[in-house]
Each structure stands twice: as structure tokens, then as C-alpha cells.
């Protein structure tokens, strides 16, 4: 039995037409008249164990495990009465979301009251509770009872193996409470799941799937409709974890479509030949926001190590810093630079004079890269 759930009549209506509890009955009132009555005097719910408590879900609190007030897996009676802040005057803002632990993909809601009953063979599942109101807390008065003397510790093994959501886009990710939680919505802007930032221990991406390891809910698998959306979501989630006071809904632009920028030195090693852009040295230093074609001359005897220019030599001599508008400074290693000789064959280092070219394998978290940038290098003695 579920009272106060979506599709049922609210316990409290307007001042002239409402449902209330009178004695042991639910009665429907219109003005001064009682128009309907649901008799409850014959209901008898046996119990041997009983707990009564009050829980406050703070504004925006997500995924609160009720745990049947500590009675574990065995509840056969659960009643929750919700009392909302007097300042929360919009009726549509006053509700509590709940999820059964074995199906976090199905969102349920109640307003003033929910009552669930079971028996010794069909007990009430554990609930995760969320207060979607980001401004006001809600007070929950909870009564839990058990028909017998059974007791066992609740261990959520289902959510340790993973909960999945599919056909997502980056625009389905929103801030719930700034600095505390995010929400993933469906295509109708209805919440699928709330995630506390403090509970996210890791995020990984494989193709169009992002896996979040949540210390409370276990593994959350997010499958996106395109790999582009997955890349952008991966970038966005990492950005929010690093900058938790950012509100996703005010982030402009939401997506990161800008490649990182290589800032070159003015001169080779800041003491040698100028580093030119399209043959010009008039406005050194240059960076890749100017364009894609750069060049310089470098002396192998002056700047080489034992007569060899290594990739690490070239990084130190040519590049000041690589910076990304969203991800910040990007560190680079020898794996991020490619060297090609005059015949465009790849080489690992330079040990003789000649004309060489460089390319860069540098990407930000959203997979924006610098694949179009080329650097012409004339190596002298």
C-alpha cells in the first residue's frame, strides 16, 4: 500500500476541498460536507519491533539511505510524514523523491505521506531518499516496525555491481546544489539520479560510456548517445569536481570545443634563433591561437645532448607552456611530440643536420587536439 504517491490524492488540498485523517479513517471534505470515507478502523498491522524517529533532509540532500532507522532488511511497516518549510510556498517544489535500492533507475515521489506494508515473506525494500528542493529542508517523521524478531545488516550488493542509464547527452547533466551535488536528467528533464560530489571517488571513460565510482551507490554507468557527448560529459564532470562552486546551468559555453594552446618561446631556448609564425618574427612570442605553421633554426652542437637533439630537448627549447581554457596547464612529455625527417619518416631523435618537421599529440579532456599544427625545424651544426 502506498499513500501520497504520484497518482493518488494529496492528503491536504485547498481550504474547501481536501482529504484528511479523521479518527482511523481517510475522509474527503468539500466545504462543510464529508463526501467520501475510507474506513481504516479494521486495519491491524502486527509488530514485535518498533522504532520512531525524525530525519531532516537538508536542502538538496541526495541519496539518503533510510536503512529502516537501523532495523536493517526486515521492515514490514513503514510510514513517513513530510513537513515542509513554511517559506517553501510553491506546491510543486514540495515533494520527496525515493528510489528502491534494487532499481535506482526508477524515480518515485511522495508529498505529505507514504505508508508501505509487507509481511514476513514480502518485506519492504530499502529506500534512498532525496530532497529535490535546493533551497529548503524537509522534516521527515518516520515509523518503522517489524512483524517478528528478525534482524540483519543491510548490505547494498546490487548497487556495488552497477546501475546504468542510457541515451544520455551532455545537456542532461545539471547542478543540483552548488558545491554539493549534481543531477542526471532524462529527456523530459526528470531526474534519473542525484550524485553527491564528495562521494565520487573516480570517473573513467571508454568510448561512449562513462563509469562513476560512487562510494554510496557503487558503480554508475552512463551511456551517451554519441562519443562526442561522452567526451564533453567527461570533461564537464572533471571540471566540476575540480571547481565545485561552479553552477553547470550558468556555464557558458557548456561544452569545451577549444583546443589547448601551445605557447612557444620567443627564441630557441630563449637565446637562439627566433621562432617564427608563417615566416614572420615581428610579434614573437607566438602561440597556436595565431595559426598552425611555425618554424625555426636550431644548432645541434649548441643545444643537443652529446650531439643529439632528443624530444625532451625540443620541448624545453621550443615550448613555454601548454594551456587549456577549461583544463588549465597541460603537462607534456616526449610521447606528445613526433619528429619526421626530410622524407617524412618518423625518428625518435635528431643526430644530424637537415630539415625536420614536428607534430604534436596533445589533447584536452574533451579530446580537442592540436593535430593540425606543424613545426618546421632546420637543424644546423
Confidence (pLDDT) at 10? 45
Helix (H) and strand (E) counts in the chain: 3, 29
The rounded radius of gyration (Å) of the Cα atoms in the chain is 31
Q: 0.75 cut: is pTM over it?
A: no
The alpha carbon dihedral of 164, 215, 183, 112 has a sign of: positive
Same domain, 112 and 219: no
Give the three-state DSSP class for 328: strand
Give the three-state DSSP class for 92: helix
Distance CA 80, CA 122 (A): 19
Of 146, 176, 200, the one marking the end of a domain is: 146
Domain tally, the chain: 3
Residues 6+ positions from 271 with CB-CB distance below 8 Å: none
Tell whether 3 is covered by a domain: no
Of 225, 250, 275, the one marking the end of a domain is: 250
Q: Exposure of 245 by Cβ count < 10 A (0-12 exposed, 13-18 middle, 19+ buried)? A: exposed
Tell whether 18 is covered by a domain: no
Cis peptide leading into residue 282 (ω within 30°): no
Tell whether 24 is covered by a domain: no
CATH of the domain at 234: 2.30.29.30
Confidence (pLDDT) at 85? 94
Domain limits at 225? 163-250
Confidence (pLDDT) at 306? 87
Same domain, 100 and 202: no
CB 259 within 8 Å of CB 266: no
Same domain, 193 and 133: no
Same domain, 123 and 88: yes
Distance CA 264, CA 277 (A): 10
Tell whether 229 is covered by a domain: yes
Of 192, 216, 250, the one marking the end of a domain is: 250
Region at 111 (left for phi over 0; alpha for psi -120 to 50; beta for the rest)? alpha
pLDDT (tens digit, 0 to 9) for every residue of the chain, 381 residues total? 454 444 434 454 556 899 999 988 999 999 889 999 999 989 999 999 999 999 999 998 888 888 888 777 889 999 999 999 999 998 889 999 999 888 887 889 999 999 999 999 999 988 999 999 989 999 999 999 999 988 777 777 676 666 889 899 999 999 999 999 999 998 889 899 999 999 999 999 999 999 999 988 888 999 999 999 999 999 999 999 999 999 999 999 999 999 999 999 999 998 889 999 999 999 999 999 999 999 999 999 999 888 899 999 999 999 999 999 999 999 999 999 999 999 999 999 999 999 999 999 999 999 999 999 999 999 999
Amino acid at each position: 500500500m502506498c499513500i501520497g504517491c504520484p497518482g493518488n490524492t494529496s492528503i491536504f488540498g485547498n481550504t474547501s476541498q481536501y482529504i484528511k485523517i479523521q479518527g482511523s479513517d481517510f475522509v474527503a471534505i468539500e466545504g462543510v460536507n464529508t463526501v467520501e470515507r475510507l474506513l481504516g478502523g479494521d486495519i491491524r498491522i502486527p509488530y514485535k519491533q518498533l522504532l520512531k524517529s525524525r530525519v531532516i533532509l537538508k536542502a538538496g540532500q541526495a541519496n539518503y539511505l533510510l536503512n529502516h532507522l537501523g532495523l536493517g532488511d526486515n521492515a514490514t511497516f513503514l510510514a513517513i510524514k513530510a513537513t515542509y518549510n513554511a517559506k517553501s510556498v510553491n506546491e510543486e517544489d514540495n515533494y520527496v523523491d525515493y528510489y528502491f535500492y534494487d532499481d535506482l533507475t526508477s524515480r518515485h515521489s511522495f508529498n505529505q505521506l507514504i505508508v508501505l506494508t509487507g509481511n514476513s515473506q514480502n518485506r519492504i525494500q530499502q529506500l534512498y531518499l532525496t530532497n529535490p528542493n535546493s533551497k529548503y529542508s524537509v522534516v521527515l517523521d518516520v515509523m518503522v516496525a517489524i512483524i517478528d524478531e528478525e534482524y540483519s545488516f543491510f548490505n547494498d550488493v546490487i548497487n556495488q555491481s552497477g546501475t546504468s542509464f542510457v541515451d544520455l547527452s551532455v545537456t542532461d547533466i545539471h547542478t543540483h546544489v552548488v558545491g554539493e551535488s549534481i543531477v542526471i536528467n532524462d529527456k523530459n528533464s526528470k531526474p534519473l539520479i542525484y550524485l553527491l560530489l564528495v562521494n565520487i571517488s573516480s570517473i573513467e571513460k571508454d568510448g561512449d560510456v562513462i563509469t562513476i565510482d560512487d562510494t554510496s551507490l557503487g558503480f554508475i554507468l552512463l551511456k551517451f548517445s554519441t562519443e562526442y557527448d561522452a567526451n564533453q560529459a567527461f570533461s564537464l564532470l572533471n571540471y566540476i569536481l575540480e571547481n565545485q562552486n561552479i553552477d553547470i546551468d550558468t556555464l557558458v559555453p557548456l561544452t569545451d570545443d577549444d583546443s589547448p594552446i601551445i605557447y612557444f618561446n620567443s627564441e630557441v631556448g630563449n637565446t637562439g634563433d627566433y621562432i617564427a609564425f608563417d615566416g614572420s618574427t615581428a610579434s614573437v612570442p607566438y602561440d597556436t591561437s595565431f595559426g598552425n605553421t611555425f618554424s625555426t633554426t636550431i644548432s645541434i652542437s649548441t643545444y643537443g645532448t652529446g650531439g643529439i637533439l632528443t624530444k625532451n630537448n625540443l620541448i624545453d627549447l621550443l615550448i613555454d607552456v601548454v594551456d587549456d581554457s577549461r583544463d588549465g596547464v597541460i603537462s607534456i612529455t616526449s610521447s606528445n611530440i613526433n619528429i619526421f625527417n626530410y622524407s617524412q619518416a618518423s625518428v625518435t631523435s635528431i643526430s644530424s643536420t637537415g630539415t625536420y618537421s614536428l607534430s604534436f599529440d596533445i589533447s584536452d579532456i574533451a579530446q580537442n587536439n592540436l593535430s593540425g599544427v606543424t613545426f618546421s625545424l632546420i637543424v644546423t651544426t
